[in-house]
Chain A
Amino acid sequence: MQVIQEKEHTRLLAEEDFLVTNANRLQLELIEALEAIDNPKVILDLTEITRMDSIGIKLVLGLLKSCEQKNFLLEVEVSSSSILKLFHLCKLGQLLNIREVVVNE
């Protein structure tokens, strides 16, 4: 997980899929990153990953709860069509700001 401080927000760039197999590590990295952030807007950048299972969703929702506690605004950026579809079908858009990002390859 890369933490990129940008002018108006902090970007948390996920470099591996949000799956049960690496959930513990991701959890620790996210907690660590969040503690270092003082920017009120956080972008969870999922544009480099393509898979997310139910534990991955728990991580996203846990991050949302943590951001709410810190009064941070959380926005999620997605490129993968399957993750996008997952978010749509679960209507996560009702809880989070989700942005589709087209990545030119």
Chain B
Amino acid sequence: MSSLSDDSLLQEFVAESREHLSSIEPDLLILEREGANTDQEIINRVFRAIHSIKGASGFFGLIALKNLSHTMESVLMLIRDGQLVPTAKVMDPLLEGVDKLNQMLEDIHSSETVTYQDEIRRLEVILGKPPKADDLEATDISSNPQGLSALDKTTIVNATQQGQRLYYLNVSVDKDLTAKQRTPLDLLEQLISVGLLIDSSFDIAMFPDLSNCLNASLSLSILCATVLEKDLLAMAVDLPETQVQEVTMEEVLDNKKPTWAMPETEKQELSKPIVQERESAHQETKTTPVNHSAEAVETIRVRVDLLNKLMDLAGEMVLSRNQLLRAFAQKENPHNGLETISQKINLVTSELQEHIMQTRMQPVGSIFGKFPRVVRDITKQLGKEIELRTSGEDVELDKSILESLSDPLTHLIRNCCDHAIESPEERKEVGKPSSGTIFLNAFHEGGQINISISDDGRGIDHARIAKKVLENGLLSESDLKKMSPQEVVNLIFLPGLSTAEKISDISGRGVGMDVVKTNIEKVGGHISIKTQLGKGTTILLRLPLTLAIIPSLIVGACGHRFAVPQVNLVELVCVKAREIPTRIEKVGNASVLRLRGKLLPLVRLADVLGLERVFFDSESGQYHPDRRIEIANPRFQENTLVSDSETLNQRTHYSSDYNIMVLKVGANQYGLIVDELFDMEEIVVKPLSSFIQHCKCYAGATIMGDGQVAMILDAGGILSYTKLSFSESQAEENYKKQLNTLDQTTIEQQAMLLFKNAPDETFGLPLSSVLRIEKFNRNEIEQLGGREFLTYQNRSIELLRLERYLPVKSSLNEQKEWFLILPKSANGRMGIIASQIVDSIDMQLDLDTTVVTNPGVIGSSVVQGHLTVFINPQTLLEKHYESRGLVHAS
């Protein structure tokens, strides 16, 4: 077994000590709050943590750390023994001590240069003794006198309670170390890596003086605690089992040491001079490989870089698995049995990936734990009364996400304390309890982790934000007027905006919230704010569970493939080509889809990425350029030479259907139009190269099953790139108002066809209900039994005159060329005669249903200065069929 280097041991000590310090800080705050009533276990926990730091820092010769933790331990001992009541006055120096220890641990190699005398003096005031200058400067690192100290005894009891076993090891310096070319340090480091070194001592009672010391036998006796079984421990430290003896806690506490029987072989070997035999020992020594049976230990420390590497490898394995599955799927007759193996690999890989992911998961409680201290300190500083309540500490998040959360959360909590929670007087004036409350809560929802920070403070005043935005020149007044109150509140994420009247140490420099937002979005999260003036504010952070392997939908656009993380995906909507005019509308410059009464802004992926739009023609098996200009009104570019009938066919062909992914970014949703939809796949996120890292539409890249690279789309990035405006709620309200004021027959904003029958009467019908419009000559009309027909493309189309079913003027006039409007519902067998096609316009109608009330009429409205009657072609057709004694079968 190779011994660990000094530095890795030291780093392990630093990591452990940091953990100890982060765990004792909340406990110290409980001590302060509960005073003499504090649970003894909490006091013991703090005591043990500080003791561990002291012990280990002593081992490493870190005098500053040792001295400070020693003094802190003395104070804690008084508290533990009931001689000192933990009040704020006692806790302050202890908390300052914790800060100082943290500072020393930040750069352990410079820890000796950190001044800590002030902290010690304050602690010694509590201990009731004047500080002795000598003690502070002393570098005497001699340990306690022989025998187990009280603290060692505490360690022993603690280790036993944790299920560790106690062992005495008897190490022969010559046989177990020199002969094996091991130093005592090698052995002790091996031991520390598998257990806890409690005590060690050389037996020098019979040791000779200088003249005979080299060949004299010397033994080192070690007391340690470990979870390992005896044989495994012996193996781990490369000692014969006979030299490892398990003892009970009572035996150790009674100072009963085992008696060791020295084997005859050893006695013979020991009679030989060791030093002279050095060379031969070097050649003969067999180093027994030591097996650190990982399965025997419950927890081990694993380096994060190792975990990262494992994660990468698991990712590669997932990719290879995907490739394998794809290869099998493509092969028609796979070799017998291979398919089963492939399925097995599939299962094992999924499980492996899941477990490796779990190794990176850590409870959010590890960062929540530091906030009580933050709140306490700010509360004291500002003279406010604030209580922090936390829940959901057990919710787990990927380590990397958790680490990046620490700073933003701290900032948000500090903001809450500084801005949101009012002073006790202010709170009393508005009828609130003098003490404010901040709720910090973590919970799972929809495959994501949510962390909410709520307060019962003053809320965010959107008018004040608007004023600050104007003052700072961040936006113009006209921009602000267009915004809803919620949108104005969201401006607090603008860089350079702070509503604090005074800049304090805590906040108010306006560099915070935008950084918070950026940091949260960097890890694929989203931040949103809900606030009620005078009542409080809730800030919600939505975070992905992990960043490494994510389920995603693979989509295609312009012949390229892209991955869309499932967490962003709400639903998929296919808008048939023929439905485009009725379902997709134009509002301002944006196209929107009306989806179950909501307006969904639409963007084309190809346009966002600047790709030439194409569509796949399954009949020809080729990609063709997509010549549609707008989403809502898919008319072709003007200079495109396409015949009318070709145009109409292309517009209604299924290849013109829109595949819309409804994506959500926080509270907002938008539709992203793509060409093709493939499978859901678990993709392994690969970071982007530095060359394209600035492209905000991409969150990363992945390798597909066929080895091709696919870019991962960043739903939030696309949204900010396209600068879509979300006044959705406003639009929604308007829409609902409209619904309330108008009859059910109201036609919403859509493309309308305006035409005339008699020259002075205008009619309208939704363009979406029209299959096509044909021009014909009056002479082409054929009569049969009082019915009129037109032959068109070898097919007879019956003509419908409006005047027969509606009280309108006759279209009989002398003009030669007429128009035939073919409604979709007539299936090309019947058409409405029109003398003139006036226009096709997008409009939102305010229909009057009282002026013209005949069946077949939806209502009337004034369009372009003329009264226009809007007809329902379906009803007219039904009336026509009824008059003929037929049933409309379409």
Residues of B within 8 A of A43 (CB): none
Mark interface residues in B176-208 (1 if CB within 8 Å of A CB, else 0): 011000111100110010000101111010011
Tell me, in angstroms, the Cα distance from A92 to B218 when the chains sit together: 14
Residues of B within 8 A of A98 (CB): 140-142
* Contact, CB under 8 Å: B6 / A100: no
Is A24 part of the contact surface with B, judged by Cβ < 8 Å?
yes
B69 to chain A, nearest CB (A): 15
Given the known inter-chain contacts A55-B178, A85-B60, A88-B60, please indicate yes or no for A31 contacting B210, CB distance below 8 A: yes
* Contact, CB under 8 Å: B210 / A30: yes
* Contact, CB under 8 Å: B178 / A94: no
Task: Return the contact of A85 from the options B142, B185, B216 (Cβ within 8 A).
Answer: B185
* Contact, CB under 8 Å: A58 / B218: yes
* Contact, CB under 8 Å: B173 / A99: no
* Contact, CB under 8 Å: A65 / B204: yes
Residues of A within 8 A of B174 (CB): 54
Task: Return the contact of B139 from the options A30, A58, A90, A99 (Cβ within 8 A).
Answer: A99
Mark interface residues in B363-396 (1 if CB within 8 Å of A CB, else 0): 0000000000000000000000000000000000
Task: Return the contact of B214 from the options A27, A52, A69, A84 (Cβ within 8 A).
Answer: A27
* Contact, CB under 8 Å: A62 / B177: no
* Contact, CB under 8 Å: B184 / A27: no
Interface centre among A54, A69, A96 (most CB of B within 10 A): A54
CB-CB contacts below 8 Å: A68-105 with B: 69, 81-82, 84-86, 88-102
Tell me, in angstroms, the Cα distance from A93 to B66 when the chains sit together: 15
Tell me, in angstroms, the Cα distance from A93 to B192 when the chains sit together: 19
Tell me, in angstroms, the Cα distance from A82 to B199 when the chains sit together: 19
B287 to chain A, nearest CB (A): 16
Can you name the residue of chain A whose Cβ is closest to the Cβ of B146?
A94
Residues of B within 8 A of A24 (CB): 214, 275
* Contact, CB under 8 Å: A59 / B210: yes
* Contact, CB under 8 Å: B213 / A62: yes
Residues of B within 8 A of A102 (CB): 112
Mark interface residues in B56-87 (1 if CB within 8 Å of A CB, else 0): 00111101000000000000000000000000
Residues of B within 8 A of A93 (CB): 141-143
Residues of A within 8 A of B60 (CB): 81, 84-85, 88
Is B144 part of the contact surface with A, judged by Cβ < 8 Å?
yes
Is A21 part of the contact surface with B, judged by Cβ < 8 Å?
yes
Is B209 part of the contact surface with A, judged by Cβ < 8 Å?
yes
* Contact, CB under 8 Å: A65 / B213: yes
CB-CB contacts below 8 Å: B90-127 with A: 112
Can you name the residue of chain B whose Cβ is closest to the Cβ of A20?
B278
Residues of A within 8 A of B211 (CB): 27, 31, 62, 66
* Contact, CB under 8 Å: B144 / A62: no
Can you name the residue of chain A whose Cβ is closest to the Cβ of B142?
A93
A50 to chain B, nearest CB (A): 11
Is B274 part of the contact surface with A, judged by Cβ < 8 Å?
yes
Given the known inter-chain contacts A20-B178, A85-B6, A97-B140, please indicate yes or no for A62 contacting B210, CB distance below 8 A: yes
Residues of A within 8 A of B201 (CB): 90-91, 94
Tell me, in angstroms, the Cα distance from A85 to B6 when the chains sit together: 9
Tell me, in angstroms, the Cα distance from A78 to B178 when the chains sit together: 22
* Contact, CB under 8 Å: B142 / A100: no
* Contact, CB under 8 Å: A20 / B275: yes
* Contact, CB under 8 Å: B210 / A99: no
Is A53 part of the contact surface with B, judged by Cβ < 8 Å?
yes
Task: Return the contact of B207 from the options A20, A65, A85, A97 (Cβ within 8 A).
Answer: A65
* Contact, CB under 8 Å: A65 / B208: yes
* Contact, CB under 8 Å: B214 / A57: no
The size of the chain A interface, using a CB distance under 8 A, is 42
CB-CB contacts below 8 Å: B413-445 with A: none
Residues of B within 8 A of A94 (CB): 142-146, 201
B288 to chain A, nearest CB (A): 18
Can you name the residue of chain A whose Cβ is closest to the Cβ of B180?
A54
Tell me, in angstroms, the Cα distance from A65 to B210 when the chains sit together: 7
Interface centre among B144, B199, B204 (most CB of A within 10 A): B204
Is B862 part of the contact surface with A, judged by Cβ < 8 Å?
no
* Contact, CB under 8 Å: A61 / B139: no
Mark interface residues in B130-144 (1 if CB within 8 Å of A CB, else 0): 000000000111111
Given the known inter-chain contacts A94-B145, A95-B202, please indicate yes or no for A61 contacting B275, CB distance below 8 A: no
Can you name the residue of chain B whose Cβ is closest to the Cβ of A82?
B6
Say which size band chain B's interface belongs to.
35 or more
Can you name the residue of chain A whose Cβ is closest to the Cβ of B199?
A91
Is B253 part of the contact surface with A, judged by Cβ < 8 Å?
no
A94 to chain B, nearest CB (A): 5
* Contact, CB under 8 Å: A61 / B184: no
Tell me, in angstroms, the Cα distance from A31 to B202 when the chains sit together: 22
Tell me, in angstroms, the Cα distance from A99 to B63 when the chains sit together: 11
B134 to chain A, nearest CB (A): 14
Is B313 part of the contact surface with A, judged by Cβ < 8 Å?
no
* Contact, CB under 8 Å: A27 / B210: yes
* Contact, CB under 8 Å: B59 / A88: yes
Mark interface residues in A1-30 (1 if CB within 8 Å of B CB, else 0): 000000000000000000011011001001
Residues of A within 8 A of B511 (CB): none
Is A64 part of the contact surface with B, judged by Cβ < 8 Å?
yes
Tell me, in angstroms, the Cα distance from A101 to B211 when the chains sit together: 28
* Contact, CB under 8 Å: B141 / A23: no
Residues of A within 8 A of B275 (CB): 20, 23-24, 55
Residues of B within 8 A of A46 (CB): none
Given the known inter-chain contacts A59-B210, A61-B202, A65-B213, please indicate yes or no for A81 contacting B58, CB distance below 8 A: no
* Contact, CB under 8 Å: B63 / A66: no
* Contact, CB under 8 Å: B173 / A100: no
Is B220 part of the contact surface with A, judged by Cβ < 8 Å?
yes
Task: Return the contact of A100 from the options B141, B200, B202 (Cβ within 8 A).
Answer: B141
Residues of B within 8 A of A88 (CB): 58-61, 141, 143
Task: Return the contact of A90 from the options B141, B146, B202 (Cβ within 8 A).
Answer: B202
* Contact, CB under 8 Å: B204 / A59: no
A79 to chain B, nearest CB (A): 10
Can you name the residue of chain B whose Cβ is closest to the Cβ of A84?
B61
* Contact, CB under 8 Å: A64 / B214: no
Can you name the residue of chain B whose Cβ is closest to the Cβ of A97?
B142
B6 to chain A, nearest CB (A): 6
Residues of A within 8 A of B59 (CB): 85, 88-89
B447 to chain A, nearest CB (A): 48
Can you name the residue of chain A whose Cβ is closest to the Cβ of B213?
A62
Tell me, in angstroms, the Cα distance from A100 to B142 when the chains sit together: 10
Residues of B within 8 A of A37 (CB): none
* Contact, CB under 8 Å: B204 / A53: no
Residues of A within 8 A of B63 (CB): 100
Residues of B within 8 A of A66 (CB): 209-211
Residues of B within 8 A of A64 (CB): 204
Is A63 part of the contact surface with B, judged by Cβ < 8 Å?
yes
* Contact, CB under 8 Å: A85 / B145: no
Tell me, in angstroms, the Cα distance from A71 to B207 when the chains sit together: 17
A45 to chain B, nearest CB (A): 14
* Contact, CB under 8 Å: B61 / A85: yes
Can you name the residue of chain A whose Cβ is closest to the Cβ of B277?
A20
Residues of B within 8 A of A52 (CB): 183
B413 to chain A, nearest CB (A): 39
Residues of A within 8 A of B146 (CB): 94
Instruction: Please give 12 more A-B residue pairs, beta carbons under 8 A apart, in addition to A53-B184, A55-B275, A100-B139.
Output: A61-B207, A62-B207, A65-B210, A65-B213, A85-B59, A85-B185, A91-B201, A93-B143, A96-B142, A99-B141, A100-B61, A100-B141
13 contacts between A and B (CB under 8 A): A27-B213, A59-B210, A59-B213, A59-B214, A62-B211, A66-B211, A81-B60, A88-B141, A94-B146, A97-B140, A98-B140, A98-B142, A99-B141
User: Contact residues of A with B, CB < 8 Å?
Assistant: 20-21, 23-24, 27, 30-31, 34, 52-55, 57-59, 61-66, 69, 81-82, 84-86, 88-102
| CB-based closest 9 A-B pairs | A62-B213, A93-B143, A93-B142, A62-B210, A66-B209, A89-B188, A65-B209, A54-B177, A84-B61
